[in-house]
Amino acid sequence: MNRRFTTLLSIPFLSLSVSTAALAAEEDNAPGAMCVGVGHDLRVNAQGQAENPQAVAVTAICPSERRLINGSFATRFSATVWVSDQSTQLSACCRAVSRVPNGASVVESPWSCTSTTGTSSNTQLTIQEITDGWTFAHFYIQCVVPPVEAGKTSRILTFRSTQS
């Protein structure tokens, strides 16, 4: 009788444990050096940051490997990006993007941008979550990095991807 009672008590705990794991989000940090420029090069500095030495703003793509969580691909993606915006003319802006390989389906968050004070050494941009259920879509962060101004370069310091 005690054996049967013990077995019945352990089933709800097993259920609770499995459902709690399904709610977990996965995060990872990556250096700005992982970002690549579109049409113009970004320069990687000794701190692993991607900086824009160009006289024009550069669009950067910062990849995030889509995660398998509990056997299924993540469907929600958000991010935090730390930037140094040295421009008094343009803001550094970033957004989350999900795209299928042929480009037919695109999901984009609104842009998150810095102010244009030109004195930012470390600004945190919180990127709004997007949802995409296509299993073959990929996630990335798209940023616009302002041009060099008065010898100072704006740069992407690091970024954190959050998936669930």
**Residues 40-61: what's their mean pLDDT?**
97
Q: How many domains does the chain have?
A: 1
Q: Which CATH number fits the domain that encloses residue 158? A: 2.60.120.200
- DSSP single-letter state for residue 65: P
Question: Is there a domain that residue 51 lies in?
Answer: yes
- Give domain status of residue 1, yes or no: no
Residue 101 lies in a domain: yes
pTM passes above 0.85: no
Q: Which of 96, 84, 92 shows the shortest CA–CA distance to 145? A: 92
Instruction: Report if residue 124 sits inside a domain.
Output: yes
Proportion of the chain above pLDDT 70, given as a percent: 82
Predicted pLDDT of residue 141: 98
| Residue 4 in domain | no
Distance of CA 40 to the CA centre of its chain: 21
Is the residue at 13 inside a domain? no
- Domain region containing 61: 25-163
pLDDT digit string, tens, across residues 105-131: 899 999 999 986 666 678 999 999 999
Residue 17 lies in a domain: no
